[in-house]
Chain A
Amino acid sequence: MTEPTRPDPLTPVLTRRWQLDRSWSIDTYERTDGYTALRTALAAQPDQLITLVKDSGLRGRGGAGFPTGMKWSFIPQGPTGAGAKPKYLVINADEGEPGTCKDIPTMMADPHSLIEGCIITSYAIRANFCAIYVRGEALHCIRRLRQAVAEAYAKGYLGTDILGSGFALDIVVHAGAGAYICGEETALLDSLEGRRGQPRLKPPFPATSGLYASPTVVNNVETIASVPDIVSGGSDWFRSMGTEKSPGPKIYSLSGHVERPGQYEAPLGVTLRELLELAGGMKDGIPLKFWTPGGSSTPLFTAEHLDVPLDFEGAAAAGSMLGTTAVQIFNETVSVPWAVMKWTEFYKHESCGKCTPCREGTYWLVQILERMVHGRGTVEDVETMLDICDNILGRSFCALGDGATSPITSAIKYFRQEFLDLIAEQPAVARPDQLAQMTGASA
């Protein structure tokens, strides 16, 4: 193997068709090598595809970064036991993590890459039914996907005996109805089964007992849209981008106080400093104050972290997470306690209610933060919040509760003084009994 050369700063793979005329149509897609990977895949044994994706090192793009090929290999196969049950592929297109806006443009601009990925993946895991669970508010994506599915059926890429291979697959594009928690894979499965989107106990894991208690792979849009390119490019090509443990290209979504917000597809491991340079720097030159590497559930970074490599390992080593590479950038005009309050209101609104720490903890935290931001904080509040977060983190049923604590604990870590200043600016209210009177009087 030759010494790898460093790829270009931007590596459009998933985004390479987005500028084309009617990029979403099957004509455009086929003209640009679309559905050729499918032919290659259908000529192979399913297990070869699983090995290929394992070899490529593709990791889930929904936030957790679980190795995709390994996830597929957990699906029991064979004529007995769980292997004998029908298998399902479910695409998590419930994009809703604050700051995250990569899957919706993908589905709008290039739905066929996802559809082709779904067909290859279903073939690999031997699924004959695939559901794409799209956030209900992403209406136009739903249209695009349904149209793409219709086109794919018309061309024989879906249905029975796909391209003469004997393989059959149906895809349903399913609209959600407004619940962030459905981005959690087991909550998504319950929701897809027509229930409240509340997370399930694990084990059993979806790989053995997922949709309809059958073996199920749940993958993110960007993950599966990457599959056709891995088949056509090969694992070495895929690994020529990114890092050893976080290979491949990744769509970084820059938003907020930057000159040119937007979608930037770069090899994993790019830094914010590099991204900001590409995006024309901070808006109006106002300095950076804080940012999220991958959505609001990933602990905040500050200007100290401009050179943290934004891959799974780099973000984690610096005390945060890669998440969904939703890079929200806030300048010095933004109050940290206010931003944290807004995010906490979000988590409170989206907490499913199943477990105590998340349901009650977010309810309490919002009240403290709102009080604080509206001039009624107490000096005890900061420590109380940290302790509540400690009682939520790792104690709640699923990761939503953990995510809810991220903005608070990281904000206090880096901006404790701002919270204290906010309290100090206020009329001296230190004792809970006084405070209770005040809140009562103001209600």
Chain B
Amino acid sequence: MTLPEGNPEMNSAEVTGPDEVVWHPEATEGPIASPAFDEVTRQRAKEIIARYPQSRSALLPMLHLVQSVENHVSQAGIRFCSEMLEITTAEVSAVATFYTMYKRNPCGEHLVSVCTNTLCAAMGGDAIYARLQDKLGSEGRPLGHEETAGEPGTPGSITLEHAECLAACDLAPVIQVNYEYFDNQSVDSAEELVDALRRGEKPHPTRGAPLTDLRTVELELAGFHPDLAAVAEGPSIAPETVRGAVLADERGWTAPARPAEHPALPPLPEAKP
């Protein structure tokens, strides 16, 4: 018996947290939001808030909105959310640092997420991730988790991450680029995919809409789709998805027949005394 390939990160001994928190007491009054958060973004934030019975529910989508502007959650972005929702920047920071999709540093044009959870890893995910780390690294140093190859934001730049289970286990090993699925990958196909991305190409995902970039996708997550009806199309049914259904058809199996008419609903329960 051999251990599967790949080198799971010894991730236990990390020194965590910022070295020093720097604050500017003089800067705690009045709006300081970055000019990046323009009137369009403000209007969008207001639209998000209007979707919910209570405004604070808008925070997660608003952090996606912030990422669509700056390709990460910056301090200005935290400040922007804090002002729009009238909560403290500490409260926004608490939320922004809890979720893995909010990135602390500016990301590449694309985010490549390789599933390295057990099943994908056993099926080749660890090997894919290790190969991409080496490939995208420089000066002999493999690219680390959430690090970016190329100048962040520029065409062809890629932020690489290892991801937890991406819920496509029947299609393992899987990769997502900007949260679009690239199923049944191999080390070779993953390399080709990344090469194409580096060249500025946008390979079509196995399932999902045509590839755009991370910022566009973050705007979609915030609820602003360029053309919802169009982006909602695209391939989504892999052979694996319909394996059971196809097999049932082949063998003539069906669920038990339903009554021709909808059956009468049960009577109302007797009122309690």
* Chain B residues positioned under 8 Å from A287 (CB to CB): none
With A15-B242, A179-B99 as known contacts, state yes or no: A256 contacts B164, CB within 8 Å.
no
User: Smallest distance from the beta carbon of B177 to chain A beta carbons, Å?
Assistant: 11
Q: Which of B27-35, B50-58, B190-198 lies at the interface?
A: B50-58
* Chain B residues positioned under 8 Å from A273 (CB to CB): none
Residue of B nearest to A349 (CB): B164
The answer to whether A333 touches B167, judged by C-beta atoms less than 8 angstroms apart, is no
* Residue interface bits A61-87, CB-to-B below 8 A is 1, else 0: 000000000000000000000000010
If A24-B232, A342-B116 are given as contacts, then 4 extra A-B residue pairs at C-beta distance below 8 Å, sorted by A number, are: A95-B167, A99-B169, A195-B94, A330-B122
* Chain A residues positioned under 8 Å from B61 (CB to CB): 174-175
The answer to whether B100 touches A254, judged by C-beta atoms less than 8 angstroms apart, is no
> 25 A-B Cβ contacts within 8 A?
A8-B253, A18-B245, A19-B242, A95-B167, A97-B165, A98-B165, A101-B167, A139-B178, A174-B57, A174-B61, A176-B99, A177-B99, A191-B60, A194-B58, A195-B94, A195-B95, A237-B256, A256-B123, A256-B172, A261-B169, A263-B240, A265-B245, A326-B169, A346-B165, A370-B10
The answer to whether B119 touches A98, judged by C-beta atoms less than 8 angstroms apart, is yes
User: What is the interface size of chain B, counting residues whose CB is below 8 A from a CB of the partner?
Assistant: 94
- B40 an interface residue at 8 Å Cβ cutoff? no
In chain B, residues 1-43, which have Cβ atoms closer than 8 Å to a Cβ of chain A? 1-4, 8, 10-13
Please, how many angstroms separate the alpha-carbon atoms of A335 and B172 in the complex? 18
Please, how many angstroms separate the alpha-carbon atoms of A349 and B8 in the complex? 13
The answer to whether B269 touches A99, judged by C-beta atoms less than 8 angstroms apart, is no
Contacts from B to A (Cβ < 8 Å)? 1-4, 8, 10-13, 51-54, 56-61, 63-64, 85, 94-95, 98-102, 113, 116-119, 121-123, 163-172, 176, 178-181, 207-209, 217, 220-223, 225, 228-229, 231-234, 236-237, 239-249, 251, 253-256, 258-259, 262-263, 265-269
Residue of B51, B167, B221 near A142 (CB, 8 A) is B221
Most chain B C-beta atoms within 10 Å of own C-beta, residue among A137, A234, A350, A366: A137
The answer to whether B268 touches A51, judged by C-beta atoms less than 8 angstroms apart, is yes
- A129 an interface residue at 8 Å Cβ cutoff? yes
Residue of B nearest to A41 (CB): B265
The answer to whether B11 touches A52, judged by C-beta atoms less than 8 angstroms apart, is no
- A363 an interface residue at 8 Å Cβ cutoff? yes
The answer to whether A232 touches B262, judged by C-beta atoms less than 8 angstroms apart, is yes
The answer to whether B57 touches A194, judged by C-beta atoms less than 8 angstroms apart, is yes
- A34 an interface residue at 8 Å Cβ cutoff? no
The answer to whether A177 touches B63, judged by C-beta atoms less than 8 angstroms apart, is yes
Residue of A98, A140, A326, A373 near B164 (CB, 8 A) is A98
The answer to whether B85 touches A194, judged by C-beta atoms less than 8 angstroms apart, is yes
Residue of A nearest to B249 (CB): A19
With A24-B232, A136-B101, A143-B228 as known contacts, state yes or no: A262 contacts B243, CB within 8 Å.
yes
Residue of A nearest to B92 (CB): A194
Please, how many angstroms separate the alpha-carbon atoms of A232 and B261 in the complex? 8
The answer to whether A262 touches B241, judged by C-beta atoms less than 8 angstroms apart, is yes
Please, how many angstroms separate the alpha-carbon atoms of A428 and B172 in the complex? 37
* Chain A residues positioned under 8 Å from B237 (CB to CB): 18-19, 23, 105, 108-109
Residue of A nearest to B85 (CB): A194
- A36 an interface residue at 8 Å Cβ cutoff? yes
The answer to whether A143 touches B220, judged by C-beta atoms less than 8 angstroms apart, is yes
User: Smallest distance from the beta carbon of A345 to chain B beta carbons, Å?
Assistant: 7
With A139-B179, A142-B221, A334-B4 as known contacts, state yes or no: A262 contacts B170, CB within 8 Å.
yes
In chain A, residues 408-422, which have Cβ atoms closer than 8 Å to a Cβ of chain B? none
The answer to whether B8 touches A370, judged by C-beta atoms less than 8 angstroms apart, is yes
Residue of B179, B243, B245 near A136 (CB, 8 A) is B179
User: Smallest distance from the beta carbon of B137 to chain A beta carbons, Å?
Assistant: 22
**Chain A contact surface mostly:** mixed
Q: Which of A144-152, A159-167, A309-317, A391-399 lies at the interface?
A: A144-152
With A8-B253, A11-B254, A232-B262 as known contacts, state yes or no: A143 contacts B209, CB within 8 Å.
yes
With A240-B256, A278-B244 as known contacts, state yes or no: A335 contacts B1, CB within 8 Å.
yes
Residue of B57, B116, B244, B254 near A263 (CB, 8 A) is B244
**Chain B contact surface mostly:** loop
Contacts from A to B (Cβ < 8 Å)? 5, 7-13, 15-16, 18-19, 22-24, 36-37, 40, 44-45, 47-49, 51-52, 55, 86, 95-101, 103-105, 108-109, 129, 135-140, 142-144, 146-147, 150, 172-180, 191-197, 212, 231-237, 240-241, 249, 251-256, 260-266, 278-279, 296, 326, 328, 330, 332-335, 338-339, 341-343, 345-346, 349-350, 352, 363, 366-367, 370, 373-374, 443
Please, how many angstroms separate the alpha-carbon atoms of A218 and B248 in the complex? 32
* Chain A residues positioned under 8 Å from B239 (CB to CB): 262
With A98-B119, A100-B169 as known contacts, state yes or no: A140 contacts B207, CB within 8 Å.
yes
The answer to whether A174 touches B8, judged by C-beta atoms less than 8 angstroms apart, is no
User: Smallest distance from the beta carbon of B232 to chain A beta carbons, Å?
Assistant: 4
Please, how many angstroms separate the alpha-carbon atoms of A192 and B56 in the complex? 9
Residue of A nearest to B255 (CB): A11
The answer to whether B246 touches A19, judged by C-beta atoms less than 8 angstroms apart, is yes
The answer to whether B10 touches A338, judged by C-beta atoms less than 8 angstroms apart, is no
The answer to whether A338 touches B60, judged by C-beta atoms less than 8 angstroms apart, is no
The answer to whether A296 touches B118, judged by C-beta atoms less than 8 angstroms apart, is yes
* Chain B residues positioned under 8 Å from A234 (CB to CB): 258-259, 262-263
The answer to whether A177 touches B232, judged by C-beta atoms less than 8 angstroms apart, is no
With A48-B267, A98-B118 as known contacts, state yes or no: A104 contacts B221, CB within 8 Å.
no
* Chain B residues positioned under 8 Å from A235 (CB to CB): 266
The answer to whether A279 touches B243, judged by C-beta atoms less than 8 angstroms apart, is yes
Please, how many angstroms separate the alpha-carbon atoms of A319 and B52 in the complex? 43
Residue of B nearest to A105 (CB): B241
Please, how many angstroms separate the alpha-carbon atoms of A236 and B253 in the complex? 19
Residue of B nearest to A177 (CB): B99
